[in-house]
Chains A and B, each alone.
Chain A
Amino acid sequence: MTRRDVIHKWTVYALGLLPVWVLDAYILPRWPLFGTIPMLLPLAAAAVAVLEGAYAGTGFGMAVGLLWELAYPGGFGGQVFFLALAGMAMGAVAQYALNQSFVGCLICAAGVLAMLDFLRVAQILFINAASLSDALRVAVPEFLWSLVWTPLVWLLFQAIYRRVGGTRLA
């Protein structure tokens, strides 16, 4: 693939990320389901990692983490490294243990969401801000409600992959 093809491919992926981000940051927070807002950005990182493999998954995960840190309130930069690492792990797992399917994406998405919520709960417990049951009351619905959105995100990035993914542009 030429440099131009690579730029073309990742521009399309970035454009695919745009509606996911708008939905995640501006639309869904206005109408939480039973007070819970889903997290869509990790799903996008999971979908691309499963479709494109470990190396691309790392890069896309890093980009998603950077968007998360810069465009959302709060944060200390940790999401950049976490999502890059998660992208690598999910890409490797999808390449060697699972396959490039929706089920593979669902398992990876569940993994990354569980890890994110685990870290949040651990942080809450570490600073003694709430009890485990209170933290789980937020984490479990967030995990499940986010996972429900996996098919939509998967379909979006699968459609992009079918047009420009892998080495199709070569």
Chain B
Amino acid sequence: MKDFLRQNGILLLVIALLLTILLGATSAFLGGEADPLSNVVNVLISPVRGGVSAAADWAEGVYTYVFRYGELEQELDSLRARVGELEEQVRQNEEAGRENDQLRELLNLQARRRDFTFEDARVTGRSTSNWASTLTLSKGTSSGIDPGDCVVTETGVLVGVVAEAGTNWSTVSTIINTDTQMGGIVNRTYSAGVLEGDFSLMNQGKLKLNYLPEGAQLVSGDEVLTSGRGEVFPSGLVVGRVEGVFTDPSGQTRYAVVEPAVNLDVLIKVFVIKEFEIIE
């Protein structure tokens, strides 16, 4: 300890404290924008992140090929059968789609998703902590991505919301993260609630649809979409399916546990919705 004091250790602690205050203040003032230091560090480590991610993807592919060959063969057979079924479904859906288009025309509704402006990005990093569920993307403000933008899969399933954006990287708070809070609606019954991340459910890969209206008759398997309430996030994005309906410990409100439609562990490419029109 004498060495510590003789060598100006207190000075080091003071510097550490000042850095803490500086970082805390910048993150508080900048909101979702990355602070300059974080931005520089993340811009510099982006190639490393991309490289490690690509190498890990390749290694995972090799492992799967070598050790799970039999399993893959079985999967191929079942997939062939599934393709047949899906082709039949596609034929039916084409007809339903035409009918749907006519109905949209009839009701003078806009084809909502045509107003979306997408930016594709690669997932280069996953949660580094057990206390939050995040993804790191390969694009940032230089590609027009801003904090608050929704992130979806190629099929329009909601992945999360951009929490922080740097020059060529951004961090996504996934839908199961405890930060998540957005309007949700049950497609079948039009019961609206608030989609919220919950700490205990996050570890099971699920989230809550909270503050359900009294008398909402939800059943397991009901599809949950974003409601667009508050005009911050687009409406109609697929979130997942109701797994069960429960009453909170106070007995005052009911909530549904929602199983997300997206599998966060296997995501490689996602799409950021940079712009959308608010539909009243």
Contacts and interface: CB of A to CB of B under 8 A. Distances in A.
Interface of A: 22, 24-27, 29-30, 35-37, 39, 53-55, 58-59, 61-62, 65-67, 69-78, 80-81, 83-85, 88, 91-92, 95-96, 120, 124, 129-131, 134-135, 137-138, 141-142
Interface of B: 1, 3-4, 7, 9, 12-13, 15-17, 19-24, 27-28, 37-38, 41-42, 45, 48-49, 52-53, 56, 60, 125-132, 134, 136, 163-164, 171, 178, 198-200, 203
Contacts of B48: 22, 26
A116 B45 CA distance: 25
Contacts of B22: 77
A110 B27 CA distance: 30
Given A135-B199, A138-B131, A129 B178 contact: yes
B53 A26 contact: yes
Contact of A53 (B4, B12, B56, B163): B4
A59 B15 CA distance: 10
B27 A124 contact: no
A78 B130 contact: no
Contacts of B129: 37, 39, 72, 74
B20 A77 contact: yes
A63 to B, nearest CB: 10
A62 B19 contact: yes
A24 B164 CA distance: 21
Contact of A84 (B16, B52, B178): B16
Contacts of B200: 130-131, 134, 137
Given A54-B4, A71-B42, A84-B13, A77 B24 contact: yes
A119 to B, nearest CB: 11
The 3 lowest CB-CB distance pairs between A and B, nearest first, are A77-B23, A84-B16, A130-B199
Contacts of B60: 30
Nearest to A62: B16
24 contacts: A22-B48, A24-B128, A29-B128, A35-B203, A39-B129, A55-B3, A58-B9, A58-B12, A65-B16, A70-B42, A71-B38, A72-B128, A73-B125, A74-B134, A74-B171, A78-B20, A80-B16, A84-B12, A85-B13, A95-B1, A130-B198, A130-B200, A134-B200, A138-B131
